Amino acid sequence: MKRVGFIGWRGMVGSVLMDRLSQENDFNFMESYFFSTSQAGTAAPKVKNGSPKLLSAMDIKELSSMDILVSCQGGEYTTEMFPALRNSGWKGIWIDAASTLRLKDDAIIVLDPVNRTFIQESIDKGVKNFVGGNCTVSLLLIALDGLFKENLVEWVSSMTYQAASGAGAKNMIELLDQMRSVGQAFNSNPSSEALELERQMTNLMNGESFPKANFGHPLALNVLPYIDSELPSGQSKEEWKAQVEANKILQTKTVIPIDGTCVRVGALRCHSQGLTIKLKKSASLSSVEEIISNANPWVKLVPNNKPDTLKELTPAAVSGKLHVPIGRVRQMTLGENFYNAFTLGDQLLWGAAEPLRCLLRQVLN
């Protein structure tokens, strides 16, 4: 059995990955070793074929005794340890959740439902570095898989509604802290008029005492239309990733433009996206729906009516689930080749942990 080392397995993405590996009995197919940056020598989590003690995530010798390393530790760790490992001569398979290596020529961005065949060819050719994609990109590609496979997409504009989890566990908790502050202030004035309450809440969220150490701004009762760093193009880095990563995953010969505004909203762990899709040629609504819904086992077409949409096409309905619903599919008044759609998915499952889990199983097979 292959020796697989896990780094950053305690964090949010790492924990979701551990849960999924257990649910799918994946630990049966490997010897598991757990690494820690701070608690080497203490007890490791108990899994089938797992080693009992934590190993040091900073020890190149211990790391390089693994056939496969899976890191959910974050970009700084990858930047520091990955080159050191490779320079030490380690030839194992590196599987990473962080974005650091995504666009390197010798790294494959993995998204099982979309590029499993290409991943297999890469494994067979001896590629050693595999990286999960940006969550928004991965979810978009699973939802529109059919249209891309049929080479129907001229361009996509994606307006995102991204959950707090994408910014990290601390931010997710901060959103709830902000909501608690709102709830406490509101409870003290239950009988006030709506406009008076609005004035109080706006003062509260803009006040010094509102908890915003991580976001820097209120997210509760608010939206934040800038995610990640600023780029000279005027895009945010999150917006820039959409086209670059999607085209790398799809291995397009001619770039398919994908652009839009990325917005943080007060959802917990589902990223949503409102899409405008320009098709290369006209296609009927029924054929577009059929192509979308038959593309892979995870995409789920939601009929474009109000009850189904509000029941199935919301973060409340999709949180913790593996399917990727897409709905509101209709021709737009902009022209016959323009389609509207709305899609969402769990940012920690297909958005982060699940592509890594599938890749690990594929490598082990």
Active-site positions read: 135, 271
CB nearer ligand HSE, residue 12 or residue 30: 12
CB nearer ligand HSE, residue 140 or residue 341: 140
- Return the ∠ at Cα 95 (arms to 168 and 267), rounded to 5°: 25
Q: Is 288 helix (H, G, I), strand (E, B) or coil?
A: helix
**Least distance CB 166 / ligand HSE (angstroms):** 2
**Least distance CB 263 / ligand HSE (angstroms):** 10
| Residues 322 and 299: beta-carbon distance below 8 Å | no
**Least distance CB 132 / ligand HSE (angstroms):** 8
- Decide the pairing of beta strands 153-161 and 93-96: unpaired
Binding site for ligand HSE (CB under 6 A): 134-135, 162, 166-167, 227, 238
**Least distance CB 337 / ligand HSE (angstroms):** 30
Angle between helices 112-125 and 135-143 (to 10 degrees): 110
Burial 63-77, CB ≥16 within 10 A → b, else e = bbebbbbbbbbbeeb
CA 165 and chain centroid, separation: 9
**Least distance CB 135 / ligand HSE (angstroms):** 4
Sheet holding 68-71, edge to edge: 55-56, 31-36, 3-7, 68-71, 93-96, 129-132, 107-110
Q: Which two tokens stand for residue 86?
A: 């490779």
Closest residue by beta carbon to ligand HSE: 166
Give, for 24, the enclosing helix (H) or strand (E).
none
CB nearer ligand HSE, residue 201 or residue 349: 349
Residue 120 CB partners (closer than 8 Å, separation 6+): 362
CB nearer ligand HSE, residue 31 or residue 259: 259
CB nearer ligand HSE, residue 270 or residue 291: 270
